[in-house]
Amino acid sequence: MAKPGVLLKRRVSDQLLTALTILLPLLLFVVAPLQANGVISGTLFGIMFGLMLIPAIVMLSDDRMAVGAILIALILVFVAAVRQGTLLDRYLDAVAWLITGLTLSVVVARAVFARGRVTFHRVIGGVLLYLTIGVTFVALFGFLVLLVPNPLSNLGTLQGNLGIGNLIYFSFVTLTTIGYGDVVPLHPYARGLANVEAIIGQLYPATLLARLVTLELAVRHG
């Protein structure tokens, strides 16, 4: 039987996982459109993104490498949010989003696909993993926008934070394979990234469901 301190720490970690799974969609699908429409500034959006990383740091406290990576992302986000306006700041934003997406994806994937009983928090982790995949591609498309002239059509003028609201929209439209056609990848690299993200978006739900069913059957017959 686990010690009370271990149980408490696990309970807090599970609650933070749920909180992060709520905060991230709010940032991506409520705050980001406001930033894209000019209602809030890129600086404020960057600060809100940084604040969202704080529960992630606490949740990952047992993994020093993950905590270190998120701390670096947090520092980069706040530096870019304070400075704002230079090309370097946009690169810092892209690096911060990439570190966040990759770190959370790896850590959460290990927990979601690990052996054990299927719990509510494991399912929540599956949702969070899907979102962090989209975040990772936001960063990748952001780098492409910075490095290649006009890789995406109708992206609009990028102002601060890479015009992150527009990139979030394109990433998740691609991940869910909706493909409205209002923003289209023009450059071969952009098309390649879009193809990869669309394939992941198709395979991930089926893979997750198959793994959860397998884990549940293993527990029942174990």
Per-residue pLDDT, 218: 84
- Contacts of 25 by beta carbon, 8 Å cutoff, 6+ apart: 131
Per-residue pLDDT, 156: 63
Residue numbers of the chain with a pLDDT score lower than 70: 1-10, 12, 84-85, 156-162, 222
Does an H or E element contain 44, and which?
Answer: helix 42-59
Torsion of CA 28, 22, 200, 64, to 10 degrees: 100
Per-residue pLDDT, 158: 46
Per-residue pLDDT, 15: 84
Per-residue pLDDT, 27: 94
Structure tokens at 76: 């980069």
Helix axes 42-59 and 4-26, enclosed angle (nearest 10):
160
Predicted model pTM: 0.91
Per-residue pLDDT, 118: 87
Question: Tens digit of pLDDT for each residue in 24-68?
Answer: 999 999 999 888 888 888 888 888 999 999 989 988 888 899 999
- Contacts of 92 by beta carbon, 8 Å cutoff, 6+ apart: 76, 77, 79, 80
Burial of 117 (0-12, 13-18, 19+ CB in 10 A): exposed
Question: Tens digit of pLDDT for each residue in 200-212?
Answer: 999 999 999 999 9
